[in-house]
Structure 1
Amino acid sequence: MKKLLEVKDLHISFHTFAGEVQAIRGVDFDLNEGETLAIVGESGSGKSVTTKSIMRLLPPGNSEIKAGNILFNGKDLTKASEKEMQKVRGQDISMIFQDPMTSLNPTMTIGKQIMEPLLKHQKLSKQEAKERAIKLLDLVGIPKPEIRLKQYPHQFSGGMRQRVVIAIALACAPKVLIADEPTTALDVTIQGQILDLMKDLQKQIETSIIFITHDLGVVANVADRVAVMYGGKIVEIGTVDEIFYNPQHPYTWGLISSMPSLDSTEEELYVIPGTPPDLLNPPKGDAFAQRNPYAMMIDLEEEPPMFKVSDTHFAATWLLHPNSPKVEPPTAVKERMAKFHAKQADSLKGGE
């Protein structure tokens, strides 16, 4: 499978009045053609900063890519000029943002907003762009697209606006689609519709997707691989089955334990104790050590390397060192792993 995007040892800082915030501290991952990679983690873990850096959308005044490379089709985007990036954005790499209302221009019709990238990147005539816009609205499931094309964002519901944003992102059939928590602002029913839509569209236009979310429950339904981020680093990465069936990092255990379950009898939902680290002064050793009930002395002194679990599964935790004590995942994690396994088995039976 061909690598479409490679992020290598990426370091990003923000220069603030309080000092230098080391937001991204050595991130490595790649994206293959036709693949969906989910990046998960709490707010402030570095998910959005990482993906916005791919689009070079970080604020130019106080942000700095201090080290690393972002290779897209072999070209290093960290060294690309703004003019070169303008050709990449929308045409090769597109982004769906979290809140569709702030992504759309309230003073422009939906049709004009969809046609804009087609006129700029595809050099279509206005009539060709209009016809393509109608097809895109139909593709994302908006009824009566010829009429809707002339309407404004305030005339659409939240779910419909998100469909419009997806249509704009897909207008030029980008090779990479970045979805930054695209369902967070929507209710549960609409979330499911948008996720199903994205899966269907991926098959139709053969794009690769980076899906950012804090919700591991969403990940199980959309991703091929999962990268877990904490404190500006990727602490575990593997296939979706490996992350759900065989999670290795205590932080991943915490995220899985805190997933709500409809059939849970527990009165309270599990919460990971403590707060994420202050990246103005990143902690020595493992950034998760202060919140990790299984932390050892070495966690406070040395940062763990990425240990290999399988050819596709890696985790940065000293618990994987040959000399470390053997620790089993908590009961809550095992229960959710079993439920995930049962759900997958049911879905397979349903497809037969």
Structure 2
Amino acid sequence: MQSNETILKVNHLKINFNTYAGTVKAIRDVSFDLKKGETLAIVGESGSGKTVTTRSIMGLLANNAVVEGGSIQFHGKNVLKMSQKDLEGLRGAKIAQIFQDPMTSLDPTMRIGRQIAEPLMVHRGVKKEKAMSQALEMMKLVGITDAENRINDYPHQFSGGMRQRIVIAIALINYPEILIADEPTTALDVTIQAQILNLMRELQDKISTSIIFITHDLGVVAGMADRVAVMYAGKIVEYGTVDEIFYNPKHPYTWGLLSSMPTLDTHSEELASIPGTPPDLLDPPKGDAFAPRNPYALKIDTERQPPFFKVSNTHYAATWLLHPDAPQVTPPKQIIERQKKFAEMQREAAAKNQHHQIEEEEEQQ
């Protein structure tokens, strides 16, 4: 159940990587927050900075990474200033992560029961017998069939979908406050993908964990997230509730992502693509990084980075198209259809609220 308590706050985060070719400005002033019990999806193409952002929350940056500025506040404590010992106490206990490929996350030489139980023994000092008993319960909770007999099996004896369930069990055994899921369903087929997403939703309801869900697939986000942050070239370019991003997007990059996503109504010739490639972050552009790929780009886009413009109390987008003096542009056909649906949803919600108010007033009389 989502609450209004903010447990994580990322402020003006800037991260560079020192390479032989020069300094890569990977994260360029990223800010967002996470509330207790909510799911925040971070979406964008490969290389947009999604994984680097979330690895910094765990204190898992590479040796050549340099935090140029900003802070990551977890319950008011700056993760970036924590000692190695404090970080080790944080990882797996209060903040856990599910990685993309379960086979690289599991020790092939260790039985899975022991792997699930290990975080309990390391972080909470639970004795082996009790930890194994709790591992068995967690195996059942994540839907591993015949758990009593399979607790002593090795990772290679499980299917890809079952291995991902084991990784989720390891991440959740300590009931962490934040679960970071880094493309957790990419390596799975569509049917297993749906099962894993349903499982994560069910477990979130049971243990009130907040989830940061990283994906390049907007289709996965629709039924999973409460809020969405769209990333491009190391910056968040739009964020809002899942309905606002899906049905009333304002940034041309979000338009491109949504237009390239097939739906049941899509005809094969209608599917769009975003032209060009993301910019080289060794030398980021002076203006809007998306401008060279943006068919709606204005002259100012090549000269100045756009600030965030407010669309609603929960919806902001960094595009000069929202400036009062900007010319009116017509979004792609798919986006216009989405905006019509959004307006219809808002009308229905308003009518429903009005109906409830009338009923309450009648009851009071």
Task: Give the alignment's TM-score, normalised by structure 1.
Answer: 0.95
Specify the code of the residue in structure 2 equivalent to 1:49: V
Residue 44 (structure 1) aligned with residue 51 (structure 2):
no
CA distance in 1: counterparts of 2:204 and 2:343, whole angstroms? 25
CA distance in 2: counterparts of 1:334 and 1:223, whole angstroms? 22
* Aligned equivalent of 1:53, options 48, 52, 56: 56
User: Structure 2, unaligned stretches of length 5 or more?
Assistant: 349-365
CA distance in 1: counterparts of 2:344 and 2:38, whole angstroms? 24
Q: CA deviation at 1:125?
A: 1.0
Residue 89 (structure 1) aligned with residue 61 (structure 2):
no
The answer to whether the Cα contact below 8 Å between 1:286 and 1:300 also exists between their aligned partners in 2 is: yes
**Alignment-derived partner of residue 256 in structure 1:** 258
Q: Could you tell which deviates more after superposition, 264-273 or 215-224?
A: 264-273
Q: CA deviation at 1:260?
A: 1.5
Residue 22 (structure 1) aligned with residue 25 (structure 2):
yes
The answer to whether the Cα contact below 8 Å between 1:26 and 1:233 also exists between their aligned partners in 2 is: yes
The answer to whether the Cα contact below 8 Å between 2:248 and 2:338 also exists between their aligned partners in 1 is: no
5 Å-filtered alignment, 1:32-181, equals: 32-60=35-63, 62-181=64-183
Q: CA deviation at 1:327?
A: 1.7
5 Å-filtered alignment, 1:230-249, equals: 230-249=232-251
CA deviation vs aligned residue, 1:206-226 (integer Å, no higher than 9, x gap): 100000000111111100000
The answer to whether the Cα contact below 8 Å between 2:45 and 2:216 also exists between their aligned partners in 1 is: yes
**Alignment-derived partner of residue 9 in structure 1:** 12
Q: CA deviation at 1:179?
A: 0.2
CA deviation vs aligned residue, 1:212-255 (integer Å, no higher than 9, x gap): 00011111110000000000000000000111121000000000
CA distance in 1: counterparts of 2:57 and 2:75, whole angstroms? 13
Q: Could you tell which deviates more after superposition, 105-114 or 323-332?
A: 323-332
Runs of 4+ in 1 over 4 A off after TM superposition: 336-345
Aligned to 1:252, the other structure's residue is in SS state helix
The answer to whether the Cα contact below 8 Å between 1:4 and 1:31 also exists between their aligned partners in 2 is: yes
Aligned to 1:84, the other structure's residue is in SS state helix
Specify the code of the residue in structure 1 equivalent to 2:51: S
Q: CA deviation at 1:261?
A: 2.0
CA distance in 2: counterparts of 1:19 and 1:2, whole angstroms? 41
Task: Give the alignment's TM-score, normalised by structure 2.
Answer: 0.92
The answer to whether the Cα contact below 8 Å between 2:248 and 2:335 also exists between their aligned partners in 1 is: no
The answer to whether the Cα contact below 8 Å between 1:40 and 1:214 also exists between their aligned partners in 2 is: yes
CA deviation vs aligned residue, 1:246-286 (integer Å, no higher than 9, x gap): 10000000000010223422236311000001000001100
Specify the code of the residue in structure 1 equivalent to 2:221: V
* Aligned equivalent of 1:228, options 219, 227, 230: 230
Q: Could you tell which deviates more after superposition, 140-149 or 248-257?
A: 140-149
CA distance in 2: counterparts of 1:267 and 1:254, whole angstroms? 16
CA distance in 2: counterparts of 1:135 and 1:103, whole angstroms? 21
Specify the code of the residue in structure 1 equivalent to 2:319: T
CA distance in 2: counterparts of 1:184 and 1:154, whole angstroms? 19
CA distance in 2: counterparts of 1:267 and 1:316, whole angstroms? 30
**Alignment-derived partner of residue 272 in structure 1:** 274
Q: CA deviation at 1:56?
A: 1.0
1:312–1:343 CA distance, 2 compared to 1 (3 A): closer
CA distance in 1: counterparts of 2:152 and 2:66, whole angstroms? 41
Aligned to 2:193, the other structure's residue is in SS state helix
1:158–1:115 CA distance, 2 compared to 1 (3 A): same
CA distance in 1: counterparts of 2:314 and 2:345, whole angstroms? 23
The answer to whether the Cα contact below 8 Å between 1:91 and 1:121 also exists between their aligned partners in 2 is: yes
Q: CA deviation at 1:19?
A: 0.2
**Alignment-derived partner of residue 352 in structure 2:** none
**Alignment-derived partner of residue 199 in structure 1:** 201
Q: CA deviation at 1:70?
A: 0.2
Specify the code of the residue in structure 1 equivalent to 2:77: K
CA distance in 1: counterparts of 2:87 and 2:62, whole angstroms? 14
**Alignment-derived partner of residue 285 in structure 1:** 287
CA distance in 1: counterparts of 2:208 and 2:182, whole angstroms? 19
CA distance in 1: counterparts of 2:55 and 2:138, whole angstroms? 25
The answer to whether the Cα contact below 8 Å between 2:248 and 2:342 also exists between their aligned partners in 1 is: no
The answer to whether the Cα contact below 8 Å between 2:97 and 2:171 also exists between their aligned partners in 1 is: yes
Specify the code of the residue in structure 2 equivalent to 1:252: T
The answer to whether the Cα contact below 8 Å between 2:247 and 2:338 also exists between their aligned partners in 1 is: no
The answer to whether the Cα contact below 8 Å between 2:237 and 2:251 also exists between their aligned partners in 1 is: yes
Aligned to 1:172, the other structure's residue is in SS state coil
Specify the code of the residue in structure 1 equivalent to 2:138: L
Specify the code of the residue in structure 2 equivalent to 1:215: D
CA distance in 2: counterparts of 1:288 and 1:265, whole angstroms? 27
Which structure has the bigger radius of gyration?
2
Specify the code of the residue in structure 1 equivalent to 2:16: S
1:340–1:159 CA distance, 2 compared to 1 (3 A): farther
Specify the code of the residue in structure 1 equivalent to 2:261: M
Give the alignment's Cα RMSD to 1 decimal: 1.7
CA deviation vs aligned residue, 1:168-219 (integer Å, no higher than 9, x gap): 0001000000000000000000000000000000000110000000011111
